[in-house]
Structure 1
Amino acid sequence: MTQSLEKALAFHCAPALCGLKPANLICCPHGQYRDLERQIEALDEQLNPERIHLRLLCRCEKRTLLLVYRQDLLERHLAQEKVSEFLRRRGYPGGGLEDVLHCFEHRLAQDGDFPHEAGVLLGYPLADVEGFLKNKGKNCKLCGYWKVYSDEEQARKLFSSFTRCRHALCAQIAQGKTLRQVLIAA
């Protein structure tokens, strides 16, 4: 297995891999990774003991969208009353994590707009997800790992911790360690 996918995951998904947030999305262009689906399956199997999962959400002719998530964190996040109520209002089932992810996959497969409630799955503050939807992505206070409509100071702190995490994880991968080695040692 080439380390290029692991490097991309370290860069784009460090906050979820390190447990700072429940999930990250990564878009993998076709042709950039040799035997992408096999690599995803192998990494998923390696990281499952750490309760980290890689889920192929959708594929089109040019790219594959992958969700990297910590099952326990995502389940707890989605179980919050305000978050689950938001998702119900958006037409998601009231079931568990698997039901929500299945519904999200279905929405991704439909033609039309990207389902921006994805921010909730990624652990973004609910007020920011609602602000994004209300403002159609405009008029944010701050743009970083997501568009911020609520607590700018708290978002800056989170963005800083995510960046530090990314740098640390990428540095270890650049030294030749695998994601599994780094995450088990953490």
Structure 2
Amino acid sequence: MVKCSDSCILAHKRNNGFIWWLVELLGPVLMGSKPSELLSFPKHDKHLLRKIDSIEKHMGKCKRITYRFFENKDGNLKVLFYNPKILDTCLRDYRNMKFLKTLGYPKQYNLDEYLRIIIDKMIGGNIPHEIGVFLGYPLKDIMGFIGHPSLKLTKVNGWRVYGDPRLSDERFNEFIEAKNKIKKLLEFNEPEKVLVSI
């Protein structure tokens, strides 16, 4: 078996920088600290087909992440990457589920149905406020963003933080720590290896 040297990894990274960037970006989803990540690609991106091919080729090998492609009404491509186990746990959280039900999500929880509803809303051209639940943001920050009167903007740290920032800071630090772990793994391994070994 031939081991890729540092110079080999750097050369490969230059040739397919997109997948390196993508794996690093998805680090928190891979590591289980974030339930999902939403990416958007303009329809006029001249490298769009290559990016789609790269996602299908590489992400299909990963057991922790599933993804769904969809186009919004403007024809831009969106991809929702998610860790089914972590997203399921997040959506089943009593407070999150109660909030989602007030927005018309079914009383009988089903992960695929909840995903269908959020994706249908985004296909219509809007990014609904509840996407924050799917992305793993604290519910208090989502409620504050919507305009809950008792929650005042405290700061911006990855997203808008409302009220007591401790939970938000903890969550943000978990995301950064996971991204840094993946970044470190990518220093010595190709993305394909990282995706199958996590």
TM range (shorter): 0.7 to 0.9
Task: Verify the 8 A CA contact 2:19 2:54 in the aligned structure 1.
Answer: no
Could you tell me which amino acid in structure 2 is paired with residue 142 of structure 1? Answer: K
Q: In structure 1, what is the equivalent of residue 4 of structure 2?
A: none
Q: 1:99 to 1:51 in 2, by over 3 A?
A: same
2:34 corresponds to: 21
Select the structure with the greater relative contact order (CA < 8 A; seq sep ≥ 6).
2
2:194 maps to 1:182? yes
- Check whether the contact 2:90–2:136 (CA below 8 A) recurs between aligned residues: yes
CA distance in 1, matches of 2:99, 2:197: 37
Identity across the alignment (%): 25
Residues in 1 aligned to 2:65 and 2:105: alpha-carbon distance in whole angstroms: 23
1:118–1:89 Cα change, 3 Å = same
Which residue of 43, 61, 70 maps to 1:46?
A: 61
The runs of 5 or more residues in structure 1 that have no matched partner are: none
Distance in 1, Cα, partners of 2:185 & 2:71: 30
Per-residue CA deviation, residues 35-91 of structure 1 (Å, 9 max, x unaligned), is 2333232233211xx231122143566742211111011111111222112111111
Give the total of aligned pairs. Answer: 181
Q: Distance in 2 between matches of 1:171 and 1:56?
A: 28
Query: Could you tell me which amino acid in structure 2 is paired with residue 101 of structure 1?
Result: L
C-alpha spacing 1:119/1:175, structure 2 compared with 1 (3 Å): same
Counterpart code for 1:46: K
RMSD: 2.7
Q: Which has the larger radius of gyration?
A: 2
Instruction: Label 1:44 to 1:96 Cα distance change in 2 as closer, same or farther (>3 A).
Output: farther
- 1: distance between equivalents of 2:121 and 2:86? 23
Q: When the two structures are superposed, what TM-score results if normalisation uses the length of structure 1?
A: 0.81
Deviation at 1:171, TM superposition (A): 3.8
- The answer to whether 1:120 aligns with 2:122 is no
Give the aligned residue type for 1:71.
P
Q: Which residue of 1 aligns with 2:120?
A: 106
Aligned partner of 2:110 in structure 1 is: 96
Displacement of 1:34 in angstroms is: 4.4
Letter matched to residue 98 of structure 1: D
Aligned match for 2:176, one of 142, 163, 166: 163
For structure 2, the 5+ residue unaligned runs are 1-11
